[in-house]
Amino acid sequence: MKKETKEFTEKVLDGFHIAFRKEVEKKKKVNGEFAFSENGKIKRVKAKDIKL
């Protein structure tokens, strides 16, 4: 992988992690939950149960 591509990929992933943490904290304040798909089935997870 080219150096520029690797650096860009790392920056995108860092941004994703920051955004996800912010979203989890926001959902925790309102006792919200997330919906994920796992093997074609919908899984609901309370934000308070997500460990960062």
- Exposure string for 23-32, b = 16+ CB within 10 A, e = fewer: ebeebeeeee
Q: pTM value?
A: 0.76
Q: What is the pLDDT of residue 38?
A: 94
Q: pLDDT, tens digit, for every residue of 4-31?
A: 999 999 999 999 999 999 999 999 999 9
Task: Sketch the domain layout of the chain as residue ranges.
Answer: 3-49
